[in-house]
Amino acid sequence: MTLTFYWYPKCGTCRKAKKWLEERNIEFQEVHIVEQPPSKEELKDLYEKSGLELKKFFNTSGQKYRELGLKDKVKTATEDELLTLLASDGMLIKRPLTADGQNVTVGFKEADFEKYWVQE
């Protein structure tokens, strides 16, 4: 199954992750996370498959996150409110966001990429 790789080309971490995938000849479909952010439904599906807390999907170091004062909102908002927020702006989503229909990784940790995306 082909990976879906949500990324932002100006993001250094995304470029590093893309290079990592390419060096291992792993096929992926790239999606510009700002021009084509995942929908609320897609995010809900990714979140549920990831096993991670929803707040891990937020780009907490991003300018938009700080501008909107989300640090406190994230603690009290409902799951539905958080998913709506994430779907409203690709810059709020931690990237790269990589998925294959079963597994999901958020951000780029080589060990996670090795575990989930390298097929033996």
Among all residues, which ones are annotated catalytic? Answer: 11
Q: What's the Cα-to-Cα distance from 55 to each of 10, 30, 48, 65, 79, rounded to whole Å?
A: 23, 23, 13, 12, 9
CB 6, CB 93: distance < 8 Å: yes
User: Do the Cβ atoms of 94 and 58 come closer than 8 Å?
Assistant: yes
Torsion of CA 31, 37, 43, 47, to 10 degrees: 60
Distance CA 28, CA 12 (A): 18
User: CA-CA distances (angstroms) from residue 40 to 43, 45, 85?
Assistant: 5, 9, 9
